[in-house]
Structures are given as C-alpha cells and as structure tokens.
C-alpha cells in the first residue's frame, strides 16, 4: 500500500465531506467539455452532447422568464445527502434567500427545482441514486427530460426518501408546474430526440 493509498483511507475514515472535496480537486483537470459528478462515491465524466445541451438551454431560457440569473444554475456542484454525493445537476433553481456556505458552495436545502437531461452512459444515475438523493433532500420538483424516450418525467411531493407524485408527458406536451414552487409552464416542443443506437 502506497502513502497516497493510506492518505485516502485516512481521509475517508475522517470525513466524507473532505473526501468529496479532495475528489473534486483531483478532477479539476478534467478535459474541457466534460461534465464531472460524484454519485455515491463513483466518479462520472461524460462529454456534453449537442441535443443534451439544447434541452438544458431551452429549460434555462424558459426559467429565466421568471427567475433572475443568479438563481438559475447549470453544472454547479451541490453536495446532497448520502455517501459522497457531489452533483453538478443540468439545471438547478435556488431559493431567493439562498446564500453560499463559507466554503463557497450552495446548500441542497436551498434547492427548489432540479432538471436532469438523460445521457446514455449516466441515465441510471438520474433515475436511481440521484433521484433518491433529491427526494431525501426534499427538493420540491425534479424534472427528468429523456431524449431517448422522448418523454419528460416530473417528480413532486418528496416524502420519506421518495417522490409521491410522478407525471410523465411526451415531448411536445406542455409541463404544467404552476402548482409547484416553480410556478410556470414549460414547453417541450423544441426538445430534440436522441437516437437509441
């Protein structure tokens, strides 16, 4: 066992947060155009696909009709409950009163809305451990846009580590979020689909 391995084990035993910080420091040299996340301690790096970015941008532009720029984030790290969960969600809306921690990060307790756009290699995270972490964190609204299915899944009413309500609509159908903290309707007519191949 090398000195580096011993240091990593010691760090993991002392503090998950510090280990998560260290992991992100090691990953700062990720290639341009790659998204980096840590989900349950596993590192995921995926290149930004054109259709993926088009959906993210469309969601951000629609949210900007209501929210000031400082409340809408994309690919910004937020640490969520669970073991080593440092997510860089595709789109995050922060509460108006949100303030960064002393470490310069946003708190999951201030997240009002998250949108994830499915990528083929990491979709299992969005539907699995990330969705669970968002529910445990009581994020009021989780939207998953799946260009492979051509569908949008909206999860609301987080309770006991899961979402009580799921609504699914096909691309091209409006997503009514007026009864949620988001308070607006998102159009999906311009969301591009992705080939299953």
Structure tokens at 193: 């689909």
Residues ≥6 apart with Cβ < 8 Å to 162: 132, 135
Is the pLDDT score of 44 beyond 70?
Answer: no
Helix (H) or strand (E) run with residue 78 in it: strand 78-80
The pLDDT of residue 36 is 64
175 three-state secondary structure: strand
Residue 18 vs residue 3, higher pLDDT:
18
Helix (H, G, I), strand (E, B) or coil at 180: coil
pLDDT of 142 over the 90 cut: yes
Chain segment 4-39, per-residue pLDDT in tens: 444 443 444 444 555 766 666 656 666 666 666 667
Give the C-alpha separation, 93 to 73, whole Å.
6
Q: How far apart are CA 132 and CA 121, in angstroms?
A: 18
For the whole model, what pTM was predicted? 0.79
Tell whether the model's pLDDT for residue 96 goes beyond 80: yes
Measured in whole angstroms, the distance separating CA 190 from the mean position of its chain's CA atoms is: 21
- Please report where in the chains the tokens 């469309």 appear, as a residue: 58
pLDDT band at 163 (very low <50, low <70, confident <90, very high): very high
3-state secondary structure (DSSP) of residue 162: strand
pLDDT score recorded for residue 175: 98
Averaged pLDDT score across all residues of the chain: 85
């Amino acid at each position: 066992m090398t000195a580096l391995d011993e240091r990593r084990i010691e760090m993991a035993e002392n503090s998950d947060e510090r280990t998560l910080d260290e992991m992100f420091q090691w990953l700062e040299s990720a290639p341009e155009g790659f998204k980096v996340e840590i989900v349950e301690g596993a590192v995921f790096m995926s290149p930004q696909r054109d259709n993926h970015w088009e959906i993210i941008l469309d969601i951000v532009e629609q949210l900007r009709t209501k929210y000031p720029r400082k409340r809408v984030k994309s690919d910004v790290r937020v640490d969520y409950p669970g073991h080593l969960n440092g997510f860089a969600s595709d789109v995050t809306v922060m509460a108006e009163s949100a303030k960064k921690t002393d470490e310069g990060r946003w708190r999951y307790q201030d997240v009002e809305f998250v949108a994830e756009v499915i990528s083929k290699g990491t979709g299992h995270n969005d539907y699995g451990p990330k969705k669970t972490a968002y529910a445990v964190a009581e994020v009021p609204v989780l939207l998953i846009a799946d260009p492979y299915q051509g569908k949008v899944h909206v999860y609301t009413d987080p309770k006991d580590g899961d979402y009580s309500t799921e609504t699914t609509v096909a691309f091209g159908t409006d997503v009514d979020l007026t009864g949620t903290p988001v308070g607006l309707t998102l159009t999906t007519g311009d969301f591009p689909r992705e080939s299953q191949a």
